[in-house]
Structure 1
Amino acid sequence: MSRNKKNKRVRRTITRGNVRRPNDTGETIEDLEARLATAGAPTLPTEAGATVRVAREHIKVAQKAFQWRVPKRNQIPSDDHILTLARAIQRGDEMPPILVFPVGRDFYVLDGHHRLAAYDNAGWSKAIPAQVFTGSLREAERAALRSNNKDQLSLTREDRTEAAWRLVREREPEDSIKSIMQDTGASKGTVNTMRATLEKLAELGNSPEDIKDMSWAKARWNAKGGREDHEHADWIEAEADKLVDDILRFKLGTRLTKNTDVTALALAKLNPALPDALMAEWAPEPEFDPHENDPEHPDIIF
């Protein structure tokens, strides 16, 4: 039986309650293209590549345009990275300049989202060191991807796969198979499969707007004939039932539940990312965050 959407389990994002992140404008590449068409000439440094100081109110975040990481339900590693950087800023350590793209009087972050969040959490009130990217908007989009690849919190395999799919579905003439491989780390076979999937989706009547909102997993599902979300949910449930059957067949059920500390360690040895993923799947939505604005909590940096 198909799941009722109304009863669908909400998967909560796990975060540190004491970490603030910059507001996201929600703008897309297309939105920024429209702004560039009407905005005045941007403020550029007199010397190319020079580090300048940008007032915080003019620094914007548009993750749909320039953030290539797949949204994670477990944000704790990212939050901890922000707190580490915030503490370093409070100690007086100098941060590398963030990379920004100018649109009128505003500057959009290409590289340095964690550093910008760290400045906010450290209570930084001065202008922020930045380098201004002077290429085109599309070049800026690719520069953001390459910068993310070099970040301390490097892109995961899922991030790289989704980045390759995003480039493939955008159909930009300058994005060859080779350049997509170089920018994302995807294999030639993966890029070719994505291109074939894109053509199949078009043959099945999916519009460019439909495809734009599809993840790579959803694109593959639709290309094979899947249509409704409840069909995908049913497939997940059927696969889960098969896994339960395998666990029972090998008489592992009792062993998994007898000593949960042993089970947790075994799962971590099987795949270090698995426990965090399971926590994100199972975590209930709290009525309130007990650590929010808690002056006694030692990790709060405001």
Structure 2
Amino acid sequence: MSANKTARLTALEELKRRIEKGQPPTKQPTKLPLKKIEIIEEVFQHRAGGTLGTIDGRKHVKTLESALKHNQGNPLAPILIYWVGDAWACIDGHHRYEAYKAMAWKDNIPVKVFEGSIYDAFAKAGDANVKDKRPMSDKDKSQYAWELVNLTKENGERVYSKSQIAKMSNRSTSLVGRMIHVLATLRETYAEPPLERWTHAQRWYEQGPGNGEDVDYRAIMEGKAQRLADKLRTHFKQQLTADPVITFMALEKYSPELVGQLKTLLKEETDREAEDGDMEYGF
């Protein structure tokens, strides 16, 4: 991954090339089997942790499962889909998709086709998350705005204006303006500035890189963490999340030292998020 592109924008570029190599759809469906809908969370899911990576996300899916159980066989609202050259991809409705999957839904499910450019689809996915019944956190909204600021055409121009980004991400125009300024300054000052996360880029802008933090090493850590998460999900499925208290007790029995370290890390992350929120709103 280029140091000058976020992982999401790199994935977006790869998907754009896939679309360019593909063929137009033969028809625009209003219903599809679940297996015919592709999930591309690395592009179209803007929430931190993805669809099932947080307790709130899993609770939301459980709520939708309950709705399906008591809905007399009727499906949920249509999933918004987009043609990616060789398949239909979900751009809004990831939790509904997971609820259908958990219920082993056999019937075709209602879908609605989104028409527009890949950039418009990317933005629509973020806009849907911002306004969804389970909205993104302020931190996720700011990260989404940062990714839109980084999103450029082949000629280097931003795809969306400052006011458009502010409206799409539900962030202030002043914050988006600051992001644009920080991005331009970092690119002028450093050969490979850290642009993956807004919070990280903001610290480099304010404090410089002299904090001993290695950007490539962070990327390696993210990769290792993702692989470990995938192994846990494959082996334990939803066992770890079904009862957080039991999971916590099991971790304490496995390694009290690990639990102590996790408590410290969680406190540091909570304090950091509070500081970021203060900076964002000018407190």
**TM-score bracket for this pair, using the shorter chain length:** 0.5 to 0.7
Deviation for aligned residue 1:148: 1.3
Deviation string for 1:135-156 (max 9, x for gaps)?
A: 1111111111221122110121
Normalization by structure 1: what TM-score? 0.61
- Structure 1: which amino acid aligns with 2:198? W
Q: Distance in 2 between matches of 1:103 and 1:82?
A: 25
Q: Distance in 2 between matches of 1:102 and 1:231?
A: 38
Q: Distance in 1 between matches of 2:77 and 2:238?
A: 31
- Structure 2: which amino acid aligns with 1:53? K
Measured at CA, do residues 228 and 104 of structure 1 come closer, stay the same or move farther in structure 2, by a change above 3 Å? same
Measured at CA, do residues 83 and 219 of structure 1 come closer, stay the same or move farther in structure 2, by a change above 3 Å? same
- Structure 1: which amino acid aligns with 2:119? R
Query: 1:215: which partner in 2?
Result: 197
Structure 2 residue aligned with 1:192, among 159, 177, 187?
A: 177
What are structure 1's unaligned runs of at least 5 residues?
A: 1-25, 46-50, 233-284, 294-302
Q: Does residue 94 in structure 1 map to residue 72 in structure 2? A: no
Query: 1:31: which partner in 2?
Result: 14
Q: Which has the higher contact order (CA 8 A, sep 6+)?
A: 1
Q: Distance in 1 between matches of 2:128 and 2:236?
A: 34
- Structure 2: which amino acid aligns with 1:96? A
- Structure 2: which amino acid aligns with 1:160? K
Q: Distance in 1 between matches of 2:238 and 2:151?
A: 42
Q: Distance in 1 between matches of 2:237 and 2:147?
A: 38
What pairs with 1:36-51 in structure 2 (closer than 5 Å)? 36-45=19-28
Q: Distance in 2 between matches of 1:166 and 1:34?
A: 19
Deviation for aligned residue 1:228: 5.5
Deviation string for 1:155-208 (max 9, x for gaps)?
A: 21111111111111223534111101110111122111111110121122244x
Measured at CA, do residues 60 and 206 of structure 1 come closer, stay the same or move farther in structure 2, by a change above 3 Å? farther
Which SS does the other structure have where 1:109 is aligned?
Answer: strand
Structure 2 residue aligned with 1:202, among 187, 211, 216?
A: 187
Query: 2:35: which partner in 1?
Result: 57
Which SS does the other structure have where 1:28 is aligned?
Answer: helix
Query: 2:239: which partner in 1?
Result: 292
Moved over 3 A (4+): 171-174, 227-232, 288-293
Deviation for aligned residue 1:216: 0.7
Normalization by structure 2: what TM-score? 0.65
